[in-house]
Chains A and B, each alone.
Chain A
């Protein structure tokens, strides 16, 4: 083997300088790590207004309510909803509250072995339906706004298809609905391995196994480079605090109930039933055409967990005529944790919801001839004789289509969907607005 031609003395000189830097950094780092660090998550105050089994409903009250309709946020079963309230200054929940939206958020809790038989039907038509009814009752509303994230978005889509009369507007973020793709590693692995058997044999799908799986999606960056970055910056308090917060969140994973995990893998990843409107929950078919309320669908262009191809078909599959896709130049988590996208994403949702607040308004009265039996049952269970009306009015046709904007970062962040790193895709059904 020939001798390497790199100057050895240069390397040694660089090594010496680096050693000095490392020593200085280590001294500062020890002061930071041994000193007080603010690493708490989810510091925005809330109240638990409903509990059922392991599930809790958190209620966040804004200082001033400017939106008539509250927003229910449904996070995924994987990881925790605390990512939406990571820290002051990077909190989706706080942004919504600042915009005057009353926020409810589902806390799925930590499933134990006793929850292993709980299915997707139990989550959607059980817990979610009860929660929606609680909120409707608290506010005396026929419909509420629903926002789902990732797997929670898939649940929200299923719920909206099964109970469209209860949902005013639907927002889905990084939500997989089309699973038969080859661009995502998760999609390939779930289809070609028997990963779903792990849940059965462990009782529930263990969070540690899932976390390991997510780390293996990009081991070079997530196992090596990330911590190299930490070592390089561990003398900076802000960096360390943010890093530790993210670490706390990423590895704070509940198990996923085995029956839910199995069904999600089989029906979604392997058979791709959801986007085909062939999925069944509790014997009822999830027909996406029944989603007739306005739909805002946001996803990340560089999302390696839920690629854009998994998200973008939803708006074409639903029955709603008021749909909008927004593709942000970021990844799966970047939408929630990046300060830059926080400034665009959450205000955009707030504005979108506000614009549709009075659209297709439903009257809430004490008597109705069209109330469904289920709704009457819910009201009765609360001790009321009155029922919430289910009188439906066909939503007005809103030909709402944003122009496609290239994500080249030309304009500073704005609230409109035409902001710099945002691409709003036409959904193929409506004619563009004439200027």
Chain B
């Protein structure tokens, strides 16, 4: 998609990602208030998940980022822990996958920034997209 149509903070977030931890993030879709941001290299803890331990996934970023919080991720393959336990918030084939369904999105994890596990940190700038990546990786570790 044409990134120049995205709000400036999201364009900045893509720039920050490219300049720091991963070279090829993409905004693949916009649906309602949500941008589906492809993160090509998210670390998946070796001790808890079988390989591959770097996977791509989409994180749903609000158009108002950083003034509103991410909500949910979409994966191509399900996250299946090595011990086989069910991952909370997993919805296979959920309609939230539809915007990226044609390019492989098939599993929605309805993870919120704050909730039962406590309050997520305040997001203050587009640069905090790095915190979002850390948050996704931690949520997978805790899945």
Asked if chains A and B come from one complex, the reply is no
Taking beta carbons and an 8 Å cutoff, which residues of A are in contact with B? Answer: none
Taking beta carbons and an 8 Å cutoff, which residues of B are in contact with A? Answer: none
